[in-house]
Amino acid sequence: MIYCGIDWAERTHDVALVDDTGELLAKRHITDDAAGYTLLLDLLAEYGDTEETPIPVAIETSRGLLVAVLRTGKRQVFAINPMAAARYRDRHSVSRKKSDPGDALVLANVLRTDMHVHRPLPNDSDLGRAIAVLARAQQDATWNRQQISNQLRSLLREYYPAALDAFATWTNGLCRPEARELLKAAPTPARAGRLTRSQFQATLKRAGRKRGIEAEADRLREVFRADWAHQPPLIEDALGKQMLALLIQLDAACTAADDLAGAVEEAFPQHPDAEVLLSFPGLGIQLGARILAEIGDDHTRFTDARGLKAYAGSSPITRASGKKSSITRRWVKNDRLNHAGYLWAFSALRASVGANAHYRRRRAAGDWHAAAQRNLFNRMLGQLYHCLQQHKLFDEETAYPVEMAAAA
């Protein structure tokens, strides 16, 4: 059997082919373009690569055009963690030398010796991978929006506390269109104090507000005309210009997050697994799309629910040495899935009586909030794995028989 290792780089790649005995059969240096991909496929075909019996490939990334080309057909592509590849490199050399052709040879030998302990890239559908792209991009945009919002809040605390007090009662605070329009109209406390009632109403209307405009305008007018401490005029104007520059970034981040959320809402319901995911309490379109993006739609990816739980970082890990033993949470995990799982478990507390009872029972047993949330997420992942394998919708009484009986 032939094994292929590719040391990936931005512009060029090094390729190595080895046989069962570890003998180097061929090595090539290819470019990251269509000509280089053709050269790679021709090299694989020269050494017996066919559509029915493709040569497995090890590479240190799971993304990019090169990986997309290699994943055509039935070929197994293994994304080897760079840290793991570094440990394998030490098995062959103690001098700590490193080269790109040598790394390609190490990756090929990883498959030759330990292919059974590494997981190939899942065989997800094109729709599943498209949803993954949109869901991850929307998640990144949401995080970016929150980061810029925190920066803006920190800046306003330095010279404009009236704005923070005025927006405190609004959900999403500075990210709301009304807040951003008001800051554009009045970037400094001095200018906000000079706004009239009609100007406040016009600003709220421009932001898209439909109800309670007059009462809200009166409230804002009173807040901004109250007695507040001020920076010197020149410094206040300079801080106002800095705030406007930051506000432009926040506007772009909010627009990007909203546009990507709309794209997810359009694509996710078309997936066959969407009905199962949305049947679970606490999962909406956005959160369900994030869960699907990380676990994929290849139902053979995880052999059992324990593998999925370990991948998500919800199951505990035991460390034992001699007479010492400890049980802790996992640090190596899919961070995106773990983050989505925390939000899912938190939302399920109000959407499911059984989930809430399970959380309360864990808290009564001595778990802290985060540990109880993680335990609930771990249990719901097992339920999700079963429902996806059987393509069944979530059933509250089947999922939480003990908790439902106690609640009744």
Q: Give Cα 160 distance to the centre of its chain.
A: 34
- Local confidence band at 336 (pLDDT 50, 70, 90 cut-offs): very high
Check residue 322 and give its pLDDT: 84
Check residue 234 and give its pLDDT: 95
- Local confidence band at 172 (pLDDT 50, 70, 90 cut-offs): confident
What's the average model confidence in pLDDT over 8-12?
Answer: 88
pLDDT at 24 over 70: yes
Q: Give Cα 332 distance to the centre of its chain.
A: 15
Taking every pair of Cα atoms in the chain, the longest distance, rounded to a whole number of angstroms, is 84
pLDDT at 407 over 70: no
What's the average model confidence in pLDDT over 324-339?
Answer: 87
What's the average model confidence in pLDDT over 129-138?
Answer: 95
pLDDT at 274 over 70: yes
Check residue 329 and give its pLDDT: 83
Classify domain 3-117 at the CATH class level. alpha beta
What's the average model confidence in pLDDT over 328-355?
Answer: 91
Q: Give Cα 146 distance to the centre of its chain.
A: 15
Check residue 117 and give its pLDDT: 86
pLDDT at 346 over 80: yes
3-state secondary structure the chain: CCEEEEECCCCEEEEEEECCCCCEEEEEEEECCHHHHHHHHHHHHHCCCCCCCCCCEEECCCCCHHHHHHCCCCCCEEECCHHHHHHHHHHHCCCCCCCHHHHHHHHHHHHHHHHHHCCECCCCCHHHHHHHHHHHHHHHHHHHHHHHHHHHHHHHHHHCHHHHHHHCCCCCHHHCHHHHHHHHHCCCHHHHHCCCHHHHHHHHHHCCCCCCHHHHHHHHHHHHCCCCCCCCHHHHHHHHHHHHHHHHHHHHHHHHHHHHHHHHHHHHHHCCCHHHHHCCCCCCHHHHHHHHHHHCCCCCCCCCHHHHHHHHCCCCEEEEECCEEEEECCCCCCHHHHHHHHHHHHHHHHHCHHHHHHHHHHHHCCCCHHHHHHHHHHHHHHHHHHHHHHCCCCCHHHHCHHHHHHHC
- Domain extents in the chain: 3-117, 130-266, 275-407
pLDDT at 272 over 90: yes
pLDDT per residue over 294-314, tens digit each?
999 999 999 899 999 999 998
More confident residue, 234 or 88: 234
* Percent of the chain whose predicted confidence (pLDDT) is above 90: 70
What's the average model confidence in pLDDT over 193-210?
Answer: 92
More confident residue, 5 or 87: 5
Task: Give me 333's structure tokens.
Answer: 């995990």
d(CA 68, CA 252): 31
pLDDT at 187 over 90: yes
- Local confidence band at 95 (pLDDT 50, 70, 90 cut-offs): low
Check residue 85 and give its pLDDT: 84
pLDDT per residue over 28-68, tens digit each?
999 999 999 999 999 999 998 888 889 999 999 888 899 99
Average pLDDT value for the chain = 91
More confident residue, 8 or 249: 249
pLDDT at 276 over 90: yes
Instruction: Let me know: does 59 contact 66? Beta carbons within 8 Å.
Output: yes
